[in-house]
Amino acid sequence: MNIVIASDHAGFVYKQKLIEHLQGLGHQVTDFGTNSDEACDYPDFILPAAKAVAEGKFERGIVLGGSGNGEAMAANRIAGVRCALCWNEETAQLCRQHNNANMISIGERMVDEATAIAITDAWLNTDFEAGRHLRRITKIDA
């Protein structure tokens, strides 16, 4: 699978670990940054990664931060992206089965490394149950 990955400084360590893990499984992984644990603004890295997924350049995307919340919110601002914040294997499976999530967000401060890897594997190995759950998501103006 062709996967894009991006993080801010607070998700940098797990990003590096996930790149190694994914490549070990035979996936093609493109790193959109950041390239260190120096403080940075997450949208600078997350938005280009999400746009690349929305444009079909990558099949899936993974974003990481301290909590993962900001990264998921930023990614979901891009039309065509369905980014789910995942805390465990079950949330990763359900976001694929029910929501056809093409991106996930993981918080390095929220889960341990083994759980981050398990989340990633569960998400990659779960199929979308087409037609059963996700019908149509439209923009709702407040």
SS3 state at 117: helix
Residue with tokens 């607070």: 10
Asked whether the beta carbons of 117 and 84 are under 8 A apart, the reply is: no
Asked whether the beta carbons of 63 and 116 are under 8 A apart, the reply is: no
Residue with tokens 């995942």: 86
Separation between Cα atoms, residue 77 and residue 80, nearest integer Å:
9
Between the alpha carbon of residue 108 and those of residues 8, 41, 42, 66, the distances in Å are 10, 16, 14, 5
Catalytic residues: 71, 98
